[in-house]
Amino acid sequence: MMNYLFTEEQQMIKELCRQIAVEKIKPVAAEYDEKEMFPWDIVKVLADADIFGIYIDQKYGGMGGGILEMAIATEELSWGCGGIALAFAATGLGTFPIILFGNEAQKEKYLSMVAKGTVAAFCLTEAEAGSDAGGIKTTAIKDGDHYILNGTKQWITNGGEADIYTVVAMTNKSKGARGASAFIVEKGTPGLSFSKKEKKLGIRGSSTTEVIFEDCKIHKDQLLDKEGMGFIVAMKTFDNSRPGVAAQAVGIAQRAVDEALAYTHTRHQFGKPVSSFQGVQFMLADMATQVEAARGLVYNAAKMVDAGEKDIAGVSAMCKLFASDVAMKVTTDAVQLFGGYGYMREYPVEKLMRDAKITQIYEGTNQIQRSVIAANMIKSLAKSK
């Protein structure tokens, strides 16, 4: 791995998260995958190590780091298991709307909870609103000092397990996307329930459910920013969170490289290690190079976000697109290098391949990422004229 000139604190985060991945996550990853359980014992380990507070301001009990620190942690934890790491990473997705748009009272309450290890979730996707985030049907109708939420959110990571939900709902349908608003809803609020825990191809150590609102009454103080900001909240959240998905992809891919290298070096065919064959060496070299290129793009995108750069949508989409495509290719190559063993659950690479696939789909499919990148290119061209 290249030297990214981390600060002492960033290096400490990297080493601590790798230690947790190796000692706590890797040994139980297959069991959580098989049983499709939420990793509460790992959440406790991460909370006790203050990992949940990495990207949260110190005045709310966090470490005061940024997107880069979160990416470093996510990559290392995902090396252990992409699904288990989501308890941490998807909490970040649910927390960014509060970091970016919350008022002081909201930050004081909720960020301090997350810093201590409270799990969060982000509720945007619906049955008819995936890539078309402006097509959401969930409503939030003003009723005096309250809002009444009705609707169903689909495929919510950490659903049912999280205590904090940031939710995008329509407050004025006639305005289309500009009629959406964002809210904070706490687990236990009457009218909030969960159903249909999804049976998934990969990331099975993560909970994915429907989140249902039936006359769910919340106070107006739970509104993020102001009415009509929901779509902007969602898009700005994704600009900040996509390096995290990319980091998850890099962690999964790096594990695949490590497993493939170790296996091909110990596996003998025709009287010598498989790793001595030029065809295998070329595959390993390409895998390692692609992962390193993805990592560099992720870290640079994270640094740009942390530096307060305004036009981050394009580079944020690029790192998510590239890293997730690399993860899918590298994990597939790892299965190939393992031969028949790669297809068996007894070995970890088939799980890595299954876990990698979702990184090309969630938080905006890679087709949507390409649209975002191209739109930003065209916008830049227009500005330069």
Q: Over the stretch 42-69, which tens digit does the pLDDT of each residue have?
A: 999 999 999 999 999 999 999 999 999 9
Q: Over the stretch 265-320, which tens digit does the pLDDT of each residue have?
A: 999 999 999 999 999 999 999 999 999 999 999 999 999 999 999 889 999 999 99
Q: What CA–CA distance (Å, rounded) separates 274 from 258?
A: 15
Q: What pLDDT is stored for residue 176 in this prediction? A: 87
All structural domains of the chain: 8-119 (1.10.540.10), 121-230 (2.40.110.10), 235-384 (1.20.140.10)
- The catalytic position among 69, 76, 227, 363 is 363
Split at pLDDT 50, 70, 90, the class of 247 is very high
Asked if the model's pLDDT at residue 1 lies above 80, the reply is no
Q: What CA–CA distance (Å, rounded) separates 181 from 363?
A: 19
Judge whether 253 and 293 are in contact, CB under 8 Å. Answer: no
Split at pLDDT 50, 70, 90, the class of 133 is confident
- 350 a catalytic residue: no
Q: Over the stretch 65-113, which tens digit does the pLDDT of each residue have?
A: 999 999 999 999 999 999 999 999 999 999 999 999 999 999 999 999 9
Is the backbone of residue 63 left (phi > 0), alpha (psi -120 to 50) or beta?
A: alpha
Q: What are the backbone dihedrals phi and psi of residue 46, each rounded to the nearest 5 degrees, phi first?
A: -65, -40
